[in-house]
């Protein structure tokens, strides 16, 4: 591969997995249909042919078994990478993830590490059926012992995949499935920033919009639209959901005085509430308006015909900016 390649996010993840498999013989992939089929989204396509069935394992239909097996493999020195086919399928593995994987290092006072990576395609707007368009990130970010990251572009997808696999802690990588076909340049020789830090992806002076994963392109489009009205909006890609890089957020808000947090997950109980509370504590006297949140409604994910009304869009982010400027 050349130093810079133009890849979709799906192909960038594939390339990141390939490089991890090449560089460390202890890395192996596990999941339903990831071998011969290449996964539902073909993210692992070609890897079984190149690395063999002993390193790219098609598993039975049982997420609890996938993660439970990965915990044991990690304790024996391997670095398993689990694929959960769809976000809603992570719940059968929830017990293994939250009571075993997340707690093993603490339970052993640091003597045992479990470097397991769990890849979960998440989010909606793919016209799918029930249990295929969830945004369950808050469940896992709430669980101490897990690291949770989400790329929004191909560069991060390539490097974040490898950085997650190299981490000694368990890492959940939420991959924005509706952005799998979004293309971008990937520098395969220069690593992206620390995956557990936020990045300013558009500088601005009048307000800050924080988003992550699938909503970052929407936030950037909103900032572009706001510029046409004479407002300079800074956009931050959160990237890491646990830990959260509050320093970068605070620095931005102290300059702009306004903050809007946007995510696809429902607003109620979402990560936007944690961010709003922390920034209010840390930068209260810099705020010109309350921190506002934009998210989905507190309802089960709807049928495909009305999902566009459920998931936040450009207009809902612009409305939040208008409300912020109205204070």
| pLDDT score, position 154 | 98
Nearest residue to 41 via CA among 215, 177, 213: 177
- Respond yes or no: is residue 142 known to be catalytic: no
Task: Label residue 45 exposed, middle or buried (CB < 10 Å: 0-12, 13-18, 19+).
Answer: middle
The radius of gyration of the chain's CA atoms, rounded to the nearest angstrom, is: 19
- CA 285 from chain centre, in angstroms, equals 31
8 A C-beta contact, residue 104 and residue 97: no
Candidate list 54, 131, 132, 263, residue with the active-site label: 132
d(CA 59, CA 227): 49
| pLDDT score, position 188 | 94
Q: What is the number of alpha carbons within 13 Å of residue 150 lying toward its C-beta?
A: 30
Give the pLDDT of the chain (327 residues) as one tens digit per residue.
458 899 999 999 999 999 999 999 999 999 999 999 999 999 999 999 999 999 999 999 999 999 999 999 999 999 999 999 999 999 999 999 999 999 999 999 999 999 999 999 999 999 999 999 999 999 999 999 999 999 999 999 999 999 999 999 999 999 999 999 999 999 999 887 899 999 999 999 999 999 999 999 999 999 999 999 999 999 999 999 999 999 999 999 999 999 999 999 999 999 999 999 999 999 999 999 999 999 999 999 999 999 999 999 999 999 999 999 999
| pLDDT score, position 223 | 98
d(CA 227, CA 215): 18
Distances (CA, A) of 177 to 8, 70, 127, 144: 11, 23, 12, 25
8 A C-beta contact, residue 239 and residue 212: yes
pTM: 0.96
Please provide the DSSP assignment of 84-111 as one string: -SSGGGGGGGHHIIIIIITTHHHHTTTS
| pLDDT score, position 2 | 57
d(CA 134, CA 301): 7
| pLDDT score, position 1 | 47
| pLDDT score, position 48 | 97
| pLDDT score, position 3 | 82
| pLDDT score, position 43 | 97
For 38-81, the three-class secondary structure string (H helix, E strand, C coil) is CCCCCCCCCHHHHHCCCCEEECCCCHHHHHHHHHHHHHCCCEEE
């Amino acid at each position: 591969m050349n130093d810079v390649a133009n890849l979709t996010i799906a192909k960038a993840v594939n390339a990141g997995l390939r490089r991890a498999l090449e560089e460390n013989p202890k890395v192996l992939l596990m999941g339903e249909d990831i071998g011969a089929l290449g996964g539902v989204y073909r993210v692992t396509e070609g890897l079984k042919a190149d690395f063999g069935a002993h390193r790219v394992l098609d598993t039975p239909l049982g997420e609890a078994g996938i993660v439970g097996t990965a915990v044991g493999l990690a304790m024996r020195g391997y670095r398993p990478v689990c694929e959960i086919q769809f976000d809603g399928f992570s719940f059968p593995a929830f017990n293994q993830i939250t009571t075993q994987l997340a707690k093993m290092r603490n339970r052993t006072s640091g003597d045992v590490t479990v470097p397991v990576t769990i890849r979960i395609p998440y989010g909606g707007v793919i016209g799918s059926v029930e249990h295929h368009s969830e945004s369950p990130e808050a469940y896992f970010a709430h669980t101490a012992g897990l690291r949770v990251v989400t790329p929004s572009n191909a560069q991060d997808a390539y490097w974040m995949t490898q950085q997650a696999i190299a981490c000694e802690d368990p890492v959940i990588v939420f991959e924005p499935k509706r952005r799998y076909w979004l293309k971008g340049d990937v520098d395969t020789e220069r690593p992206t920033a620390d995956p557990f830090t936020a990045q300013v992806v558009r500088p601005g002076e009048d307000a800050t919009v924080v988003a992550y994963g699938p909503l970052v392109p929407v936030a950037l489009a909103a900032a572009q639209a706001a510029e046409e009205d004479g407002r300079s909006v800074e956009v931050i890609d959160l990237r890491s959901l646990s830990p959260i890089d509050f320093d970068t957020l605070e620095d931005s808000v102290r300059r702009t005085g306004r903050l809007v947090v946007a995510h696809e997950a429902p607003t109620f109980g979402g990560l936007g509430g944690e961010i709003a509370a922390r920034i209010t504590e840390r930068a209260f006297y810099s705020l010109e308006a309350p921190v506002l949140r934009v998210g989905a409604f507190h309802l089960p994910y709807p049928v495909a015909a009305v999902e566009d009304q459920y998931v936040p869009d450009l207009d809902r982010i612009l409305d939040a900016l208008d409300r912020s400027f109205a204070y």
